[in-house]
Amino acid sequence: MRDRTAVVGIGTTEFAKELPSTERRLALEAIAAALDDAGIRPDEVDGMSCYSMESTEEIDIARNLGFGDVTYFGKVPYGGGAGCGVVGQAAMAVAAGQCSVAVAWRSRKRGARSSRPWAGVAQRVGGDQQRWTRPFGLLRPVDEIAVLTRRYMHTYGGTRDHLANVALAARRHANANPAATMGHKVLTRQEYLAARWISEPLCLFDNCLETDGACAVVITTTERARDLPQPPALIHSWAQSLPAQHQTMTNFFCDDPLRGPAWACAEKLWSLSEVGPADVDVAQLYDAFSPLVILSLEGYGFCERGEGGPFTDDGGIELGGRLPVNTSGGGMSEAYLHGFNLIVEAVRQVRGTSTNQVADAGFSLVTSGEGVPTGAILFRRDD
Amino acid sequence: MHEGMLLPELDEESAPFFEYAAAGELRVQRCAACGTRRVPPRPMCHTCGSFEVEWERLSGRGSIWSFAVPHPPLLPAYAAVAPYNVVVVESEEDPAIRFVGNLVGSADGPLDEIDPSTIRIGEPVEVVFSSPVDDGGGPVVLPRWVRAS
Ligand SMILES: [Zn+2]
């Protein structure tokens, strides 16, 4: 399906720490904005794709917006790992002819219990991810990633300065993005190093934001995209991965826990692409936690194993650097919506409309969560 | 061990691990047909497809593979003893067989008994077992880890 489908509309609500609207209303606003951007009427929509953790319902979305007869609807699991699969599967449905115009969305409120499954655990914890970890106080996603991060630092000599590079790049990019919730706040390395711990070796600024908001995209065929108002972001290739013997988040029970799902996803992605990592102009790498960006730089082949930290040195992932990463400010400084705002920003880069625009961006990568079953999309400008 | 800690829900696959723990034994599930070890325990062998299992007793010795030191915000029972350590221990029998737990000074010691700044990756540890803890749902014995003597 290479280059046969495209994202033709993007929409976002306001992002804030707390918004009065419901998740349903936020989803409707974002999808309506994306359709408006695409120049496509709601009654033309016949495909729907969202996260399994999404609390808004397809029937509700469809009848509020006035969709036509929907002939494809699907959901992708694993929270922050889902986003690229949500869009990729919608595109696959379009390419296969199961629908002609699909919308994909994520609406999330930080206070919503459905968004924070670990906050509502009962006294007795079951399931392979929790039973063997929660009783001992490994309670939150940040604790699980802290274990991997310390091992990574021990194995490869990674430092807190590398993690700081990720947080600072995101913040500098957010400072140029009026929509970013942290856009008005400068972050210095001194502030990073002095911040309180959340789960050592990870501090406050190694964590993503907590955000209320919603994002949506519209996907259709490349053929139709060329008649629509926006420059199409062609879906050059996309991939998902749930690697052999993987256990989500607490993948400590295998030979090589530091080799996460990004590796298998990258292998599939590049096998479906005409280009490789060296051809990517800009990347949005899922950043619920700063070390995931470093692991993703390695997994997607931008550097060798263990070299992700040094890759971030000297502005390596900032605008003008080796590979500008998370140019909207990402989950750490724009908004955390399970990575869906990263997809919107990846589209902006091939449109040429980012507030941190990479000059002449032809290939724009976006990835979903590392450490969980994941996905990635390589967008291409329609030259 | 303290009031309010989360306890594991036991099911058909996980219950034997905790029953052996109550008997003072660290055991790992192993395929009865081909011998492949499995952590966490689960119904089926991914190597040969067998559902038959046995439980292999391990020495209880291993080394710290990595650890985290959580700070609040945490569930109240854990916030009360934070910062504390959570270690991942690699068994001496098989580097891919690892256990999540706590490094403590004694079998029933609090989670914050060991100064986290003294913990090192690679240091040798050995298993001990807590006294039975009961939240009303039946007693559970948890494996814990002390520095190797
Ligand atoms: Zn077997």
Name the residue in chain B with its Cα closest to that of A244: B46
Longest CA–CA span in chain B (Å) reads: 46
Which has more pLDDT, A173 or B134? A173
Q: Which two tokens stand for residue B9?
A: 């829900």
Which residues in chain A are closer than 8 Å to B8, comparing Cβ atoms?
124-126, 131-132, 134-135
3-state secondary structure chain A: CCCCEEEEEEEECCCECCCCCCHHHHHHHHHHHHHHHHCCCHHHCCEEEEECCCCCCHHHHHHHHCCCCCCEEEEECCHHHCHHHHHHHHHHHHHCCCCCEEEEEEEECCCCHHHCHHHHCCCEECCCCCCCCHHHCCCCHHHHHHHHHHHHHHHHCCCHHHHHHHHHHHHHHHCCCCCCCCCCCCCCHHHHHHCCEEEECEEHHHECCCCEEEEEEEEEEHHHHCCCCCCCEEEEEEEEECCCCCCCCCCCCCCCCCCCHHHHHHHHHHHCCCCCHHHCCEEECCCCEHHHHHHHHHHCCCCCCCCHHHHCHHHCCCCCCCCCECCCCHHHHHCCCCCHHHHHHHHHHHHCCCCCCCCCCCEEEEECCCCCCEEEEEEEECC
> CB A131 to CB B14 under 8 A?
yes
Residue B16 forms contact with A (CB below 8 Å): no
Q: How confident is the model at residue B133 (pLDDT cuts 50, 70, 90)?
A: very high
**Entry pTM:** 0.96
What's the whole-number average pLDDT of chain B? 96
Name the residue in chain B with its Cα closest to that of A141: B70
> Measured between CB atoms, which of A128, A147, A196 is closest to B71?
A196
Tell me whether residue A164 is in a domain: no
Contact A23, A107 (CB under 8 A): yes
Q: What's the CA angle centered on A134, arms A248 and A340, to 5 degrees?
A: 40
Q: For chain B, how far is it from start to end, CA to CA, in angstroms?
A: 22
> CB B68 to CB A146 under 8 A?
yes
Q: Mutate which of B6, B18, B30, B38 to disrupt the A interface (most A C-beta within 10 Å)?
A: B6
Tell me whether residue A137 is in a domain: no
Tell me whether residue A191 is in a domain: no
Alpha-carbon distances of B43 from A128, A251, B27, B46, B50, rounded to whole Å: 12, 18, 16, 10, 9
Tell me whether residue A119 is in a domain: no
Q: What's the DSSP call for residue B58?
A: P
Q: How confident is the model at residue B75 (pLDDT cuts 50, 70, 90)?
A: very high
Q: What's the DSSP call for residue B123?
A: -
Which residues in chain A are closer than 8 Å to B112, comparing Cβ atoms?
none
Q: Phi and psi dihedrals of B78, rounded to 5?
A: -90, -35
CA distance linking residue B142 with residue A167, whole number of Å: 38
B/e letters for A272-285, b = 16+ CB within 10 Å, e = fewer, are: ebeeebeebbbbbb
CA distance linking residue B103 with residue B116, whole number of Å: 9
Q: Mutate which of B18, B44, B69 to disrupt the A interface (most A C-beta within 10 Å)?
A: B69
CA distance linking residue A289 with residue A142, whole number of Å: 7
For B23, residues 6+ apart whose C-beta sits below 8 A from its C-beta are none
Residue A245 forms contact with B (CB below 8 Å): yes
Alpha-carbon distances of B17 from A9, A182, A351, B96, rounded to whole Å: 52, 47, 56, 17
Which residues in chain B are closer than 8 Å to A143, comparing Cβ atoms?
68, 70, 86
Q: What's the DSSP call for residue B103?
A: B
Contact B67, A136 (CB under 8 A): no
How many residue contacts between A and B have a Cβ separation below 8 Å? 118
Alpha-carbon distances of B117 from A163, B68, B102, rounded to whole Å: 20, 11, 14
Spell out the per-residue pLDDT of chain A, length 383, in tens: 999 999 999 999 999 999 999 999 999 999 999 999 999 999 999 999 999 999 999 999 999 999 999 999 999 999 999 999 999 999 999 999 999 999 999 999 986 555 555 555 457 999 988 999 999 999 999 999 999 999 999 999 999 999 999 999 999 999 999 999 999 999 999 999 999 999 999 999 999 999 999 999 999 999 999 999 999 999 999 999 999 999 888 889 888 999 999 999 999 999 999 999 999 999 999 999 999 999 999 999 999 999 999 999 999 999 999 999 999 999 999 999 999 999 999 999 999 999 999 999 999 999 999 999 999 999 999 99
Give the pLDDT of residue A39. Answer: 98
CA B66 to chain centre: 14
> CB B69 to CB A200 under 8 A?
yes
Which residues in chain B are closer than 8 Å to A199, comparing Cβ atoms?
68-71
Tell me whether residue A350 is in a domain: yes
Ligand 1 centroid distance, CA of A245 (Å): 14
A286 is catalytic: yes
CA distance linking residue A286 with residue A208, whole number of Å: 10
> Measured between CB atoms, which of A126, A147, A198 is closest to B88?
A147
Ligand 1 centroid distance, CA of B45 (Å): 5
CA distance linking residue A367 with residue A377, whole number of Å: 6
Which residues in chain B are closer than 8 Å to A253, comparing Cβ atoms?
39-40, 96-98
Q: Which two tokens stand for residue A158?
A: 């990674």
Ligand 1 centroid distance, CA of A76 (Å): 31
Which residues in chain A are closer than 8 Å to B9, comparing Cβ atoms?
124-126, 131
Those residues whose beta carbon sits under 5 angstroms from the ion ligand 1 are B 31, 33-34, 36, 45, 47-48, 50
A51 is catalytic: no
Q: For chain A, how far is it from start to end, CA to CA, in angstroms?
A: 18
Ligand 1 centroid distance, CA of A251 (Å): 21
Name the residue in chain A with its Cα closest to that of B100: A133
> Measured between CB atoms, which of A144, A198, A253 is closest to B96?
A253
> CB B6 to CB A150 under 8 A?
no
Ligand 1 centroid distance, CA of B127 (Å): 27
Ligand 1 centroid distance, CA of A370 (Å): 30
CATH classification at residue A77: 3.40.47.10
Domain range enclosing A354: 5-112+209-381
Neighbouring CB atoms inside 10 A of A2's CB total 15
Which has more pLDDT, B1 or A44? A44
Structural domains counted in chain A: 1
Q: Mutate which of A136, A156, A252 to disrupt the B interface (most B C-beta within 10 Å)?
A: A136
> Measured between CB atoms, which of A124, A132, A197 is closest to B100?
A132
Q: Which of A156, A192, A286, A300 is catalytic?
A: A286
Give the pLDDT of residue A58. Answer: 98
CA distance linking residue A236 with residue B41, whole number of Å: 41
Assembly ipTM: 0.97
Neighbouring CB atoms inside 10 A of A184's CB total 9
Q: Which two tokens stand for residue A102?
A: 């699909």
CA distance linking residue B146 with residue A262, whole number of Å: 35
Tell me whether residue A348 is in a domain: yes
Residue A69 forms contact with B (CB below 8 Å): no
3-class state of residue B9 by DSSP: coil
Alpha-carbon distances of A214 from A153, A329, B62, rounded to whole Å: 35, 16, 47
Which residues in chain B are closer than 8 Å to A125, comparing Cβ atoms?
6-9
Q: Which two tokens stand for residue A345?
A: 């920003």
Ligand 1 centroid distance, CA of B47 (Å): 5
CA distance linking residue A353 with residue A347, whole number of Å: 9
